[in-house]
Amino acid sequence: MKPVVTAAEMRALDRATIDEIGIPAITLMETAGRAVADAAMRMISGGHVAVICGPGNNGGDGFVTARVLRGRGVDAVAYLAVSREKVTGDARAHLEILERAGGVVRMLDSPEALGELGERISEADLAVDALFGIGPVRAIEGHLAHVIGIVNLCRRRLAVDLPSGVDADTGRVLGAAVSAHRTVTMAALKVAHATSPGFARCGEIDVAEIGIPQAIVATQVHAGLVERADIAQVLPRPTLLDHKGRRGHVLVIGGMPGMRGAGRLAAMAALRGGAGLVTLATAGEVDAPDSIMTRVLGATLGSILEGKSAVVIGPGLGQSEAAAGWLGEVLASGVPAVIDADALNVTAGIPEVLAKAAGPIVITPHPGEAARLLGKATAQIEADRLASARALAEQTHAVVVLKGARTIVCDGTLGDEYCSINPSGGPALATAGSGDVLAGLIGALLAQGLPAIDAARAAVFVHGCAGDHLAAIHGTRGVVSSDLPLAIAGVLAEIPRLA
């Protein structure tokens, strides 16, 4: 996985590199600025480059960028958005080096200056945002918000480390923020690059090696961005001796009257995900494709659970007293289970019920369901998605799949904070039933023997890739959830070859 760090962890990496490795901070700044200049050269078409600089290290990177670009014959100007006295330390040193090397620094520290220079900046071929990077966390307002507004008018925007105004640790925007087409970040991805909503402001992301050893980065990591190779390593491998019994039997409990499709989608996804047998259990008359076995639910599950390798409970289940009883039986059975949709809602506000499960469980809440489980507002869940996933994992002792843009997976059975962030998928999956398909796919991988954490990570990644594949064919608004199971089968065939 690609390492993902917080702002505090990044500062610790800088300090360790300076103190333990012996690379001076001013040298790290030089290397960072040169990496930004390299990216800028790939974006420009020959016009003016406006490098908008703040007072701290991000501004220092900007001064280096402006100097290097000018040395390559580019019309690059550093625009200082704060008073000169606020620039200190290594950033001040690079400001003075820029000026001694013949660089141009224009003051942009007042509304009057912005009025005089704003048109020149907004019409630049490229704006380089070197205002704040991974700090501060406070809302950007007033004059600096107006500066950001001018930057956002430029047709090409390159951010240094992180678009200014985006909280590095959550991705939230509290005031004004730059929307970048490309971001060059130093040493490792930050949380805001990888998770929602921050990643949507970053554009394409380059991770620049500036001299911080990866061995030091590894000491600070509590999150990672999933890569294709991570998934290829854990997916079940077919053998010449496979038969349906070896590939496991998934029981899907759901698809009640009025919600039949949810159960069928989960069941078909389990089949396309490689399960050898799938049974759909529901109330009343049961209608399912020929490949899916069916059972009619009674007051208790009774023998329906016998011989099953994994259970998916919740898609189209309803929230009746009977539903709560069936969930209790599943949790007590010790069979690996996926707890989805209504099966989560019947435990709303009492996540400790899930912690008593006798076997491994994967829970798959969307933000609203996560909010009900934790007794919070949905906005609080979305304000810090990593913290929310960790809180759910701690309270439920389950593998948590917090769905949404950049779904997060956290293993509550380990007692640590590590979160996997999934990069695949997109708006094509914002369609009714896609979550039911995901639940069925997780169930299929559990049934084939994958540990719960591997089944969750792999299913989320594969499900997202299937959505991406279909979006390329039908557009992001033309995909329906019944398209997904067959696309999932294709992705499962491709990933081992492409890793």
Q: What is the pLDDT of residues 475-491, one digit of tens each?
A: 999 999 999 999 999 99
pLDDT (tens digit per residue) in 249-263: 999 999 999 999 999
- Secondary structure E strands in 83-218: 105-107, 126-130, 157-160, 182-186, 189-190, 204-208
Global pTM value: 0.95
pLDDT (tens digit per residue) in 427-472: 999 999 999 999 999 999 999 999 999 999 999 999 999 999 999 9
Q: Is the Cβ–Cβ distance between 265 and 485 less than 8 Å?
A: yes
Mean pLDDT of the chain: 95
Q: What pLDDT is recorded for position 499?
A: 56
Q: Phi/psi class of residue 274: alpha, beta or left (left: φ > 0; alpha: ψ in -120 to 50)? A: left
Question: If 0-12 CB within 10 Å is exposed, 13-18 middle and 19+ buried, where does residue 257 land?
Answer: exposed
Q: How much is the average pLDDT of 404-419?
A: 94
- Between residues 415 and 102, which one has the greater pLDDT? 102
Q: Decide if pLDDT at 161 tops 80.
A: yes
Question: If 0-12 CB within 10 Å is exposed, 13-18 middle and 19+ buried, where does residue 472 land?
Answer: exposed
Q: Any residues with CB less than 8 A from the CB of 386 and at least 6 apart, and which? A: 170, 191, 195, 223, 408, 419
Q: Decide if pLDDT at 290 tops 60.
A: yes
- Secondary structure E strands in 272-429: 277-282, 293-296, 310-313, 337-339, 361-363, 399-402, 408-411, 419-421
What does the alpha-carbon distance between residue 493 and residue 378 come to, in Å, rounded to a whole number? 37
In the chain, ranges of CATH 3.40.50.10260 domains: 2-221
In the chain, ranges of CATH 3.40.1190.20 domains: 228-498
Architecture of domain 228-498: 3-Layer(aba) Sandwich (3.40)
Q: What pLDDT is recorded for position 359?
A: 97
Q: Decide if pLDDT at 136 tops 80.
A: no
From first CA to last CA, the distance across the chain in angstroms is 13
Q: What pLDDT is recorded for position 241?
A: 84
Name the token pair of 227. 């890569």
Find the angle CA(23)-CA(25)-CA(27) to the nearest 5 degrees: 65
Q: Decide if pLDDT at 119 tops 60.
A: yes
Q: Token match 């999934």: residue?
A: 422
Q: How much is the average pLDDT of 55-64?
A: 97
Instruction: Give the single-character DSSP code of 182.
Output: E
Q: Token match 């590939």: residue?
A: 247
Q: Decide if pLDDT at 148 tops 60.
A: yes
pLDDT (tens digit per residue) in 183-215: 999 999 999 999 999 999 999 999 999 999 988
Name the token pair of 277. 């047998």
Q: What pLDDT is recorded for position 106?
A: 98
Q: What share of the chain is helix, strand, coil (3-state, %, to 5)?
A: 45, 15, 40
For 301-318, letters b (16+ CB in 10 Å) and e give beebbeebbbbbbbbbbb
Q: How much is the average pLDDT of 324-333?
A: 97
Q: Decide if pLDDT at 287 tops 90.
A: no
Q: What pLDDT is recorded for position 414?
A: 86
Q: Give, for 112, the enclosing helix (H) or strand (E).
A: helix 111-122
Q: Which of 336, 293, 344, 282 is nearest to 311 (CA)?
A: 336
Q: How much is the average pLDDT of 44-52?
A: 95
Q: What pLDDT is recorded for position 498?
A: 64
pLDDT (tens digit per residue) in 383-398: 999 999 999 999 999 9
What does the alpha-carbon distance between residue 438 and residue 318 come to, in Å, rounded to a whole number? 18
| Relative orientation angle of helices 434-447 and 484-498, to the nearest 10 degrees | 50
Q: Classify domain 2-221 by CATH number.
A: 3.40.50.10260
